[in-house]
Amino acid sequence: MKSSNYRPINHSVGTAGKEFAADIGGMYPYEQFTIVVLTYDRDNILTLMLEGLLNLAYLHSVVVIWNNPKPPSDNILWPRLHVPIHVVKSEKNSLNNRFLPYDIIKTEAILMLDDDVTLRHDEIILGFRVWRENRDRIVGFPARGHFWSEANQSWYYNSAHSCEYSMILTGASFIHRYYLHAYTNEMSAQIREIVEQKLNCEDIAMNFLVSHITRKSPLKVTTHWSFICTNCTSSLYNGGGHMPIRSECINQFERIYGYNPLIYTQYRADSVLFKTRLPLGMEKCFRYV
């Protein structure tokens, strides 16, 4: 077991504020996670995001999937972190590369991140705590939904703010390493082909897969609904065709599975004392989440 300065919490007393910050709490026994980042050719955005991971607790390593067939420039100034950064060079630009079961991933827990996503350390740690209690589910930040149109006899993708959701975007989510194997080796090859053709919908495919295997919904943590990259000049998801394509994917995936496995939930996880007024002198478990 990897040593740490944390100790198990006493579940009867001393579980708020300073004690919680000093103790390992729900993180016993000690466990780490790997961050997997999918990127194409946005050096400055990537390195800025990686710099923000310095001294992130429980981080084992970072795997950067370079999705551009052209290798990264020798001029990239890779930041020095407290953990190793492994760069995997892809032979072709494919969103399926995000979910390949790379041997270099040694932890069961994986935090999938897009290169333009910025999360605070406390948000990541809370997400990891929630995932550890729900290891078979997708646990993450931006949530999305789907709905059925009786008029058109078709499923539609829904990104609007809603009181329920059925998917978590995998550009900011924790998943179990097993699902990389399942996506690559067990899921229908037709679905991966659709992802290749549309250069989209890999996250919808993963949500279909996990809900099909578990018959459970994903879990959303914190208030994040979307991420806005102020330094990005372009995005794969800009343009009017993005939403119709994702609706097409839901309908195509349903035909392949023979049913729609997505499950709605109205549940969001925050820390216990989030937005709770505390007596003078007491501290929260997490200050902002």
Which among 70, 62, 69 is positioned nearest to 46, based on CA atoms? 62
CA angle centred on 270, ends 167 and 279, rounded to 5°: 170
203 tagged catalytic: yes
Residues 267 and 44: their CA atoms lie apart, in Å, by 36
Active-site entry in 114, 115, 116, 203: 203
Q: Which residues of 158-184 are buried (b: 16+ CB within 10 A; e: fewer)?
A: bbeeeeebbbbbbbbbbbbbbbbebbe
DSSP letter string, 163-232 = S-BSEE-TTEEEEETHHHHIIIIIS-HHHHHHHHHHT--HHHHHHHHHHHHH----EEESS------TT-
Residues 252 and 145: their CA atoms lie apart, in Å, by 16
Write down the residue that tokens 């406390």 correspond to: 122
Q: Which residues of 40-78 are buried (b: 16+ CB within 10 A; e: fewer)?
A: eebeebbeebbeebeebebbbbbbbbbbeeeebeeeeee
Residue 221's beta-bridge partner residues? 269
Residues 254 and 248: their CA atoms lie apart, in Å, by 10
Write down the residue that tokens 């999305």 correspond to: 144
Residues with a known catalytic role: 203
